[in-house]
Amino acid sequence: MADNANPGNFANRPKEEVKAAAQKGGASSAGGFASMDPDKQKDIASQGGQASSGSFEPGSEKAKEAGRKGGSSS
């Protein structure tokens, strides 16, 4: 096993834990948006992203830089 303690890296996890995660097949225990009441989904969707806390202050340099990058990887 690698000496990296990053728990997000499956190479650093015990094989049994990785196998158990793989057997779930992407199933989430939380459910998220898809498991919400349809009326609540509609309400959130109608806000067009306004419900999101967002990552940037509007007009900030970081926001401008991210906009210029678009979908390109860094």
Mean pLDDT confidence for 14-39: 77
Tokens at 50, concatenated: 């306004």
CA–CA distance from 43 to each of 16, 33, 34, 37, 61 (Å)?
41, 12, 13, 10, 31
Q: What is the pTM of this model?
A: 0.31
Q: Measured over all CA atoms, what is the biggest interatomic distance in the chain, rounded to whole angstroms?
A: 47
pLDDT, mean over the chain:
74
pLDDT band at 51 (very low <50, low <70, confident <90, very high): low
Q: Which one, of 51, 57, 50, lies nearest residue 66 by Cα?
A: 57
Residue type, 50: Q
Query: What is the residue whose two structure tokens read 């690698």?
Result: 2
Q: CA-CA distance, 33 to 22, in Å (whole number)?
A: 22
Confidence of residue 2 (pLDDT cuts 50, 70, 90): very low
